[in-house]
A and B are shown apart, each in its own frame.
Chain A
């Protein structure tokens, strides 16, 4: 089989649901900027793209009607460029990369795109019309259980204490704040956004502005402040708004090519997608997903944890992220993830606790972040992984192209 190369990967900023900068911007408007940004960065003619896969966790309403195709058209791609929406909840944006890469690898396409979109402000988590199957929700409600409860289950079953979670969350914030200050998020695309404002004369207008940073980062977070927060999902629990991922709006996109295409267009590849796996786990502790997916991935490619230079393990909740790191042997040595450690490998510039988790976008967003970091650090292998609602984990191995 051929290799598939990521030649361009960008993302919009991730901004807070409801009060954040992107809350009043339609998801398609975010996605088209990511798609165009990824293509324009390498100066490729849009007509050369064969197909576009877009991840979305709640592909309905504003994100419905096959947003994967609609956004491609809105972005000014010629009619010949096709598009689809894929959904694997929080891994949707990674699933889309994998599917496009597989098209290249088996020779069915030369150039494809992948991406992800989620406006959690506009389409709520759980969707606008949740309709669990009546019989199944009576018999086995675990399938529909809230993500917060699964995080509580992980915390209680695997003894991840409140202190551990708050500490992990604190470091996520510190890493993100430092990276933001030092301009390390080079994968961010300054993004045109809208807000609806009432003018003095009582008329309403849609105003345009540019957003170029993640607006959920809290550099002033303290351990003490985190300790004061009430549990968010369980009266007696340990999972709080402070040690959970933020609900976020954002979009991301990448361009994937065969080696032949790279040569043809004279484009230098960034990284190669080596392998992608998924693993099923119990629905009521879905957060453990990466603890199964990453070992499965490593076994498949014959590598060891020590061979991997960087990890992006999505911080859906501190409890599950900690558990997964523990299982990989990466938690007890705090130098692997602490903000004061130069040798850290886990979420080196912060994770979703600080930067947000725009569900279906996250897979593509983290890929853009990981590849940017691999390049900066000259790291050969990087792994991206996340847990998935309903009880799954996904993981992908990227190899840097020198």
Chain B
């Protein structure tokens, strides 16, 4: 039998259940979302379907309103979600191929639900529990063999759409075929990173994560260190998210952390650090007082933010553990080692700065770090057969840049072990053994393959990744870089396909990158068959390219070298159009922030293969500019090409207005689906759920296009709306200016945008050349740089990252 998931069900519509339902719908799978009938129905409501579905409806509404958004495109995707309740609609579960159980973490309730499910489920249908810690063995007790064979734990992380980790746990009876299928389905269809965990309390992510929190709580009570200090050290300075440790507790909810810690304490009788799961009294007091963090009404947990009613300024306060009061603190005060770390170039140097500096905070950071690293090593093979599983879980589930063993490699395994010994710590036996064998790192690249150290066999083994994943770092390590400069590299993806990888800060596009792209394209035309524009910057969502490098042009403008800006843009246009009309297929693989120049590069490609998390837009107006890399031209072409040529367009305005708005209002999509709605993605462009598949899928597209007999797009003229549009838009801009919604210089820029997008002095419906439109764009771009206002706006965004409206 070929297994297919044609319909899923999610039982439980809370934050996790609702999130799973939204993700499934976002992946295009019809989803039945069920919850209980409210207990408190009034007599007259008992036969009212709306009242009976009140809980599930509220759950779905919560997802529709969630921030950040739970759906990629809620207007379309919500139609895939059918809601119901567990009394009237239970029979509908009989049609479902995969049923998620996301009810309250209570063994008795889960068991009785499974008993009911067992009686009606389709034979072969998979039942997946999203428990965050209950043993599979106990949940499956008393069920039939058929049930057990199709029972699995699929543990998602919150928020479900954004957290990549999906922990899978199988039982002794779970069929291998079910495990393999779910692993592939979760990776490909839902786009998750799969980690196989064992049936141990809190699995991997929360075992290590809550362990870290437990250690930190204990150190808080032992040493002289403040909560903000801890969070500053273990934030971005260490390759961890801004929420670090204690703000993370506020985000997740102190009650949840408490519950997880209790679960660990109760079940992990032999854990060598069991004590840390007995959280300090002050933490228990916070939970008892209902200070659970962001989820509580005044949002007080470890931190609390208030607004000063006099100045309307936000004040951040932190709890004083001695008094229990919230006191103000200076968020801008940065500890010395954090400054030192920020100055470092690589993550390894940052982490070394944090652990190996000679000051109070570094010693405390080291204490926490060393304990956690040792704890992680001692968990192999208890919770995971390999160190890879632990690193993946921590990167994907806790948004760390590096998992514990990667951190360990970064700071030097031997050096740190010596330090541990000097501090009188117990060094994990498996690590000592590894070092004793002369193996200095947990990971290495061997004969072009990434390998990890396997404690069981005491040897290196290949890291197995899905064959759909291509990692540029691995290719780089195995000498597949054929050309490179300080901003970009050309990497051989095999089969004649090459990849241009950006590697500047935020992957901003600069002059040397542009020059490189030209050279790289030349090289591929000589030596290959097609080109992928892809990179894999870390972070959630990360940046494919956050735009153009303003500093270069800002410098030229300051010196009054406008003819050089003009020449530069001419060159940009040559490069962009060169890519577009190159005799080889070019496929862009954007993800995350794809703004300004980054967006323009993608718009010139033959095809876009985008990650579902695509934040794309032409945002140049925020920097005081119009797009300078043919962005307006290509966006308008996308609008016009969406209409069959047999249609005679009468109302160009219906097309011009949304295209103009996208640029003039610097609209950024919040998903690839939205980018498609806004016209940035064409119908034939693809959306990929799994970010790690992007470059592989882009390569496949190149091969397919070559196979189909690739010819570059034919040069042609495009119709524009001409000055008719300008009459319409200028009149509206005047209204906005009168209403103080538009500042004077922004109005000037908006007027230039509509001038460029509608072909300057052309009449309505006039067919114009791209060269003409490029000229208009270039002139507008240079004219703006000549103004003091644009120079100020550009400078402001470079300095503060925020637009200044002049």
Residue ranges of A at the interface with B (Cβ–Cβ < 8 Å): 128-138, 141-142, 144-146, 148-149, 152-153, 233-237
Given known contacts A129-B653, A141-B734, A145-B735, is B727 in contact with A234 (CB within 8 Å)?
A: no
Contact flags B731-747 to A (C-beta < 8 A → 1, else 0) = 10011001111000000
Determine if A130 and B739 form an interchain contact, defined as CB atoms under 8 angstroms apart.
no
- Point out the residues of chain A lying under 8 angstroms from B735, CB to CB: 145-146, 148-149, 233
Shortest CB-to-CB span from B726 to chain A, Å, is 5
Determine if B724 and A144 form an interchain contact, defined as CB atoms under 8 angstroms apart.
no
- Chain B residues 605 to 663 lying within 8 A of chain A, measured CB to CB, are 650-651, 653
- A131–B758 Cα distance when bound, in Å, is 14
- A137–B734 Cα distance when bound, in Å, is 9
Determine if A235 and B739 form an interchain contact, defined as CB atoms under 8 angstroms apart.
yes
Least CB separation from A139: chain B residue: B730
Shortest CB-to-CB span from A9 to chain B, Å, is 36
B551 within 8 A of A: no
> Of A137, A148, A234, which is within 8 A of B740 by CB?
A234
Given known contacts A141-B734, A145-B734, A145-B735, is B727 in contact with A133 (CB within 8 Å)?
A: yes
Determine if A138 and B728 form an interchain contact, defined as CB atoms under 8 angstroms apart.
no
- A132–B725 Cα distance when bound, in Å, is 9
- Point out the residues of chain B lying under 8 angstroms from A146, CB to CB: 735, 738
8 smallest CB-CB distances across A and B, nearest first, come from A234-B739, A141-B734, A134-B727, A144-B731, A134-B723, A132-B727, A235-B740, A132-B731
Determine if A137 and B741 form an interchain contact, defined as CB atoms under 8 angstroms apart.
no
Q: List 22 A-B contacts (CB under 8 A).
A: A129-B650, A130-B728, A131-B653, A132-B727, A134-B723, A134-B727, A136-B727, A137-B727, A137-B734, A144-B731, A144-B734, A145-B734, A145-B735, A146-B735, A148-B739, A149-B738, A152-B738, A153-B738, A233-B738, A234-B738, A234-B740, A237-B739
- A136–B734 Cα distance when bound, in Å, is 12
> Of B730, B731, B734, B739, which is within 8 A of A233 by CB?
B739
- Chain B residues 46 to 79 lying within 8 A of chain A, measured CB to CB, are none
Determine if A138 and B738 form an interchain contact, defined as CB atoms under 8 angstroms apart.
no
- Point out the residues of chain B lying under 8 angstroms from A236, CB to CB: 740
Least CB separation from A231: chain B residue: B739
- Point out the residues of chain B lying under 8 angstroms from A148, CB to CB: 735, 739
- Point out the residues of chain B lying under 8 angstroms from A131, CB to CB: 653, 724, 727-728
Determine if B730 and A137 form an interchain contact, defined as CB atoms under 8 angstroms apart.
yes
Shortest CB-to-CB span from B324 to chain A, Å, is 38
Which of B723, B726, B728, B731 has the largest count of A CB atoms less than 10 A from its CB?
A: B731
- Point out the residues of chain B lying under 8 angstroms from A142, CB to CB: 734
Determine if A138 and B730 form an interchain contact, defined as CB atoms under 8 angstroms apart.
yes
- Point out the residues of chain B lying under 8 angstroms from A237, CB to CB: 739-740
- Point out the residues of chain B lying under 8 angstroms from A137, CB to CB: 726-728, 730-731, 734
- A234–B730 Cα distance when bound, in Å, is 17
Which of A133, A134, A146, A236 has the largest count of B CB atoms less than 10 A from its CB?
A: A134
- A62–B91 Cα distance when bound, in Å, is 50
- Chain B residues 684 to 743 lying within 8 A of chain A, measured CB to CB, are 723-724, 726-728, 730-731, 734-735, 738-741
- A137–B737 Cα distance when bound, in Å, is 14
- A278–B739 Cα distance when bound, in Å, is 29
> Of A128, A129, A134, A152, which is within 8 A of B730 by CB?
A134
- Point out the residues of chain B lying under 8 angstroms from A138, CB to CB: 726-727, 730
- Point out the residues of chain B lying under 8 angstroms from A153, CB to CB: 738
- A117–B735 Cα distance when bound, in Å, is 27
Shortest CB-to-CB span from B660 to chain A, Å, is 14
- A335–B606 Cα distance when bound, in Å, is 72
Least CB separation from A153: chain B residue: B738
- A321–B408 Cα distance when bound, in Å, is 76
- A sample of 10 more A-B contacts (CB under 8 A), given A129-B651, A130-B731, A142-B734, is A131-B727, A132-B728, A132-B730, A137-B731, A144-B731, A144-B734, A145-B731, A145-B738, A152-B739, A233-B738
> Of A128, A132, A144, A235, which is within 8 A of B741 by CB?
A235
- A133–B731 Cα distance when bound, in Å, is 9
Shortest CB-to-CB span from B587 to chain A, Å, is 39
Least CB separation from B723: chain A residue: A134
Shortest CB-to-CB span from A65 to chain B, Å, is 16
- Point out the residues of chain B lying under 8 angstroms from A136, CB to CB: 727
- Point out the residues of chain B lying under 8 angstroms from A152, CB to CB: 738-739
Least CB separation from B761: chain A residue: A134
Which of A137, A138, A142 has the largest count of B CB atoms less than 10 A from its CB?
A: A137
- Point out the residues of chain B lying under 8 angstroms from A233, CB to CB: 735, 738-739
- A145–B731 Cα distance when bound, in Å, is 7
Shortest CB-to-CB span from A332 to chain B, Å, is 29
- Point out the residues of chain A lying under 8 angstroms from B650, CB to CB: 129
Determine if B739 and A141 form an interchain contact, defined as CB atoms under 8 angstroms apart.
no
Determine if B730 and A141 form an interchain contact, defined as CB atoms under 8 angstroms apart.
yes
- A95–B473 Cα distance when bound, in Å, is 77
Least CB separation from B724: chain A residue: A131
- Point out the residues of chain A lying under 8 angstroms from B651, CB to CB: 128-129
Which of B739, B740, B741 has the largest count of A CB atoms less than 10 A from its CB?
A: B739
Least CB separation from B739: chain A residue: A234
Determine if B741 and A141 form an interchain contact, defined as CB atoms under 8 angstroms apart.
no
Least CB separation from A236: chain B residue: B740
- A128–B650 Cα distance when bound, in Å, is 11
Which of B724, B726, B738 has the largest count of A CB atoms less than 10 A from its CB?
A: B738
- Point out the residues of chain A lying under 8 angstroms from B727, CB to CB: 131-138
- Point out the residues of chain A lying under 8 angstroms from B728, CB to CB: 130-132, 137
Shortest CB-to-CB span from A145 to chain B, Å, is 6
- Point out the residues of chain B lying under 8 angstroms from A145, CB to CB: 731, 734-735, 738
- A382–B284 Cα distance when bound, in Å, is 78
- A237–B736 Cα distance when bound, in Å, is 12
- Point out the residues of chain B lying under 8 angstroms from A234, CB to CB: 738-741
- Point out the residues of chain A lying under 8 angstroms from B731, CB to CB: 130, 132, 137, 141, 144-145
- A148–B736 Cα distance when bound, in Å, is 11
Shortest CB-to-CB span from A210 to chain B, Å, is 29
- Point out the residues of chain B lying under 8 angstroms from A141, CB to CB: 730-731, 734
Least CB separation from B735: chain A residue: A146
Shortest CB-to-CB span from A129 to chain B, Å, is 6
- Point out the residues of chain B lying under 8 angstroms from A149, CB to CB: 735, 738-739
Shortest CB-to-CB span from B760 to chain A, Å, is 11
Least CB separation from B734: chain A residue: A141
- Point out the residues of chain A lying under 8 angstroms from B726, CB to CB: 134, 137-138
- A138–B723 Cα distance when bound, in Å, is 11
